[in-house]
Structure 1
Amino acid sequence: MGIALSVNLNKIALIRNSREGNYPDLIEHARACVNHGANGITVHPRPDQRHVRPGDVLQLAELLKPLPEIEFNVEGNPFAAQRGDYPGLTSLAEATLPDQCTLVPDTDHQLTSDHGFDLTQTADKLLPVIEKLKSLKIRVSLFMDPIPEQIELAKQLGADRIELYTGPYAAAWNSSDPKTLENLYQQHRQAALLASELGLGVNAGHDLNLDNLPRFSTIPGLKEVSIGHALIVDAITLGLAEAVKAYKAILEATTRIQKTR
């Protein structure tokens, strides 16, 4: 299999939550993404429930249960406090048994994730979480910056994969500083090579889009990209089916090229 595309549905939920009712229907959009070629569905429930809610996670788990070829990835901060009917990430994972749980160090005041874990500070707290999830047969991925020492710690903690935080790479793509962009690409490339050498799978995500994904998808050992905001924005003009197909086409082209080398 080539590089998997997991579609993050948070923005669909955000639009729905701006009005009463269930429009747009998150579950039907997940079904459409799968029907049009997505390899997985990602959601990031938060205590403030500004987009995906706990009930959505339960419904998505039921939708995807009969589809073992489609990965269900639930991400979030395992240390975020319970609030209202938000039971906490670990409890949600235990109730839904997703294929993968991506642990992310975001906080309530952040609009979106903007850094990876500093495992020199959080390893002791993360270890029991990782062990719990793995006991449930859930693959564990840690959201990480491309820092070699941190990736080595991720391996020591027992993570199965890392998800490289690509925000700075995406920001540099739109700048007029090609040297910074190249340096960031090489940092991610070296981080991916190290992770693969250590036996860690490599995922990536954050602000990847149709412009910057072709280059980033050449990162060696890349198994999966999680894309939400840009894909949903593209769906406004292209339609959801064509947006999914456009991202898949990039990943499939990269896979074909790599196979010929």
Structure 2
Amino acid sequence: MFIDSHCHINFPDLVAREAEVMANMRANQVTHALCVSVELDRYPEVLAMAERHANVFASVGVHPDYENLIEPDVAQLVSLAAHPRVIAIGETGLDYFRLTGDLEWQRERFRTHIRAAKLAKKPLIIHTRSAAEDTLRIMQEEGAAEIGGVMHCFTESLAVAEAAMAMNFYISFSGIVTFKNAVDLKAVAQAVPLDRMLIETDSPYLAPIPYRGKTNEPAWVKHVAEHIAQLRGVSVETIGLATTANFFNLFSSATPA
């Protein structure tokens, strides 16, 4: 019924419990998960996870927070994205919260990922934090609407969501939407059209209530769905079915296990 559209289950604190994590997914009706790449050195771990489990997919990309790496180029990303278990490019984007100074390298890396996604014909996974204006501008300049994608772990305004949706992007909500102080984000979750919504954990981070502060895992995406259902006054089945359909509509190269 539920799909975790963004997680990092190759990270040490989850891969050490791999069998348990997968069993917990099944027990909580989480049918699939997308394991997202954050650096190319660890991309083989992401791909291996997807190869071990028919219901886990992979992405390829380099997170905007990671400095002092060999920069991926378009050809490299396109080549890696050709693997049949890879269904997306990213995560990519801009983050002005953690890093300061001259961040032109970050913007150029973002452009590289958008260009690769268009050539690979696989959607983008975009991270943006304290950088919405530049993120949307670069998406527009690089023609990201041609391939679309998802604004992952969304925490911006409804206006930003609407601008992204106008460029063929989905809006993904994480456990943050369950936090009591996330009042503005709850309003966005109520307003985003159901056919443009995804849910995620971003595990091992951002565990939803009632697990806030603990190591997150894909099974707990159910709580994100339950909270959004409550906000919108619909059944959790409605959220689960819609976000599952949206996942396979967006990530069209993904084949249900």
TM class by shorter-chain length? Answer: 0.5 to 0.7
Size of the aligned set, in residue pairs, is: 214
How is 1:171-182 mapped onto 2 (pairs within 5 angstroms)? Answer: none
> Amino acid of the residue matched to residue 163 of structure 2?
L
Aligned in 2, Cα 1:254/1:96: closer, same or farther, shift over 3 Å? farther
Q: Is the contact made by 1:214 and 1:254 (CA closer than 8 Å) also made in structure 2?
A: yes
Task: State the shift of 1:136 in Å.
Answer: 2.5
How is 1:97-176 mapped onto 2 (pairs within 5 angstroms)? Answer: 97-104=85-92, 114=98, 126-145=110-129, 147-148=132-133, 150-159=135-144, 160-163=148-151, 166=154
Task: State the shift of 1:215 in Å.
Answer: 4.5
Task: State the shift of 1:193 in Å.
Answer: 1.5
Aligned in 2, Cα 1:73/1:254: closer, same or farther, shift over 3 Å? farther
> Amino acid of the residue matched to residue 86 of structure 2?
P
Q: Is the contact made by 1:37 and 1:248 (CA closer than 8 Å) also made in structure 2?
A: no
Name the counterpart of 1:172: none
Name the counterpart of 1:177: none
- For 1:194-227, what per-residue CA distance to the aligned partner results, in whole angstroms no more than 9, with x for missing partners? 222x332133467725324754522424522432
Task: State the shift of 1:250 in Å.
Answer: 2.1
Task: State the shift of 1:249 in Å.
Answer: 1.7
Is 1:192 equivalent to 2:161 in the alignment?
yes
Aligned in 2, Cα 1:152/1:217: closer, same or farther, shift over 3 Å? same
Query: How far apart are the structure 2 equivalents of 1:102 and 1:43?
Result: 7
Q: Is the contact made by 1:42 and 1:72 (CA closer than 8 Å) also made in structure 2?
A: yes
* TM-score, with structure 2 as normaliser: 0.57
Aligned in 2, Cα 1:30/1:132: closer, same or farther, shift over 3 Å? farther
Is 1:248 equivalent to 2:225 in the alignment?
yes
Q: Is the contact made by 1:208 and 1:230 (CA closer than 8 Å) also made in structure 2?
A: yes
1:208 aligned residue (144, 159, 176): 176
Is 1:226 equivalent to 2:219 in the alignment?
no
Name the counterpart of 2:48: 59
* Structure 2, unaligned runs of 5 or more: 239-257
Task: Supply the RMSD in Å over aligned alpha carbons.
Answer: 4.8
Aligned in 2, Cα 1:254/1:95: closer, same or farther, shift over 3 Å? same
> Amino acid of the residue matched to residue 45 of structure 1?
V
Secondary structure at the aligned position of 1:102 is classed as: strand
Task: State the shift of 1:191 in Å.
Answer: 0.9
Secondary structure at the aligned position of 2:151 is classed as: strand
Query: How far apart are the structure 1 equivalents of 2:127 and 2:214?
Result: 30
Task: State the shift of 1:188 in Å.
Answer: 1.2
Secondary structure at the aligned position of 1:100 is classed as: strand
Query: How far apart are the structure 2 equivalents of 1:121 and 1:23?
Result: 34
Secondary structure at the aligned position of 2:157 is classed as: helix
Task: State the shift of 1:192 in Å.
Answer: 1.0
* TM-score, with structure 1 as normaliser: 0.57
Aligned in 2, Cα 1:6/1:35: closer, same or farther, shift over 3 Å? farther
Task: State the shift of 1:31 in Å.
Answer: 6.1
Name the counterpart of 2:62: 76
Q: Is the contact made by 2:61 and 2:92 (CA closer than 8 Å) also made in structure 1?
A: yes
> Amino acid of the residue matched to residue 29 of structure 2?
G
Task: Indicate the percent of aligned positions where both proteins have the same amino acid.
Answer: 13
> Amino acid of the residue matched to residue 122 of structure 2?
I
Query: How far apart are the structure 2 equivalents of 1:255 and 1:188?
Result: 18
